[in-house]
Amino acid sequence: MRSLPSAPKVVRPARLPRVRQLELLEAVRRDRVRQLFTAHHPKEATDDHVCLFFGWLQQHHQEMLPKASDPYLALRTELDGLYRDRIRSDAVWRPIKTPPLK
C-alpha cells in the first residue's frame, strides 16, 4: 500500500504581542488624524484651526480622538508641525538682564 504524500506545512507568521499591536493601531490612528487635519486645513493652519478640528472630530469621529486625560492637548501635540502656534511664533527671546555681582 502506497502512502499519500503529506500536505505541505502552512507556515503562519508569528503573532505580534498585544502591546505591539496596540502601538501599531495607535500609530495608524495618529497618521490618519494628521491626514484628516491637512485635508480640512490645507493652507497655513493656526492653533484656531486645531480648535475647530477638535470640535469636528468630537462630532464626527470620536474614535479618532486621543485617549488621554486632556484629549485637546494630546491632539495639539500630535498635530505639532502642521500648524503655526501663535504663542510660540510671537515669542521673542531676549536675554535677561541681571545686575552685575558686587
Band (pLDDT 50/70/90 cuts) for residue 101 is: low
Provide the 10 A C-beta neighbour count for residue 65.
16
**Range(s) of the domain holding residue 29:** 19-90
**Residue 7 within a domain:** no
Q: Tell me what the mean pLDDT of segment 56-79 comes to.
A: 92
Residue 80 within any structural domain of the chain: yes
Q: Which residues contact 54 (CB under 8 A, 6 or more apart)?
A: 65, 71, 72, 75
Q: What is the pLDDT of residues 35-63, one digit of tens each?
A: 999 998 878 888 889 999 999 999 999 99
Contact 43, 85 (CB under 8 A): no
Q: Is residue 67 part of a domain?
A: yes
Residue 11 resides in a domain: no
Q: Is residue 4 part of a domain?
A: no
* Three-state DSSP class for residue 43: coil
Output 24 or 11, whichever has higher pLDDT: 24
How many domains is the chain partitioned into structurally? 1
Within a domain: 1:
no
Asked if residue 73 belongs to a domain, the reply is yes
Burial call 22-54: b when 16+ CB within 10 Å, e when fewer? eeeeeeebbeebeebbeeebeeebeeebbeebb
Flag whether 57 is in a domain.
yes
pTM as predicted: 0.66
